[in-house]
Structure 1
Amino acid sequence: MRNVRLDWLATEVMNELTTRARRAVQDLLTETARRPDRWPAPGGEEVAEEFGTSCWIVFVAYRDGIEVRDVGWLSCDGGVLRGHQGGGHPLPAG
């Protein structure tokens, strides 16, 4: 597996997620790190996204791994759609 670094924004979001959500994002990070064939060109200039069932990451690639710029999580609690992205700011319920 390659290196995975979290940008400050992604770190903030991860710190605000529930244990279940954090585990889902970590699984997506692990899967993404193992698949360099899906990465954008190395150098950190091209942004890519990967999606899990209820989460997503935005990242750039370098020769030795990826840097995650943002993390998103979407869940349905009590019939209300909720999400977090970009520093943990709640997405509008709907």
Structure 2
Amino acid sequence: MMYRVDLAVRVEDALAELPEEGRREVLEMIAAILVRRETWPVVGGWDVRFAARSWVAFTAYGDGIDVYDLGWAG
């Protein structure tokens, strides 16, 4: 099944400012979240996931996620 990902404008801006390593880590984490539908919060709920040096905050919908914030400590 295909799911959608929406990125808030500030997330797009933050991704553009990250170095390649940070951008790759964040995008890999978003991809990992997306393919594990069973780990999403209930529809309308939110969650924060962490990787080695980054984090992503997102809201779940029936057909995908909306990433509204992220960070990278690299």
TM-score by length of 2: 0.91
Q: Which runs of 4 or more aligned residues in structure 1 lie more than 3 Å from their structure 2 counterparts after TM superposition?
A: none
5+ residue gaps, structure 2: none
CA distance in 2, matches of 1:39, 1:9: 22
CA distance in 2, matches of 1:37, 1:10: 24
Aligned partner letter, 1:70: D
Counting aligned pairs with the same residue, the percent is: 33
* Alignment correspondent of 1:51: 50
Aligned partner letter, 1:32: I
TM-score by length of 1: 0.73
CA distance in 2, matches of 1:9, 1:38: 25
State the Cα RMSD in Å. Answer: 1.1
Larger radius of gyration: 1
Instruction: Give the structure with the higher percent strand.
Output: 1
5+ residue gaps, structure 1: 76-94
Equivalenced residues, count: 73
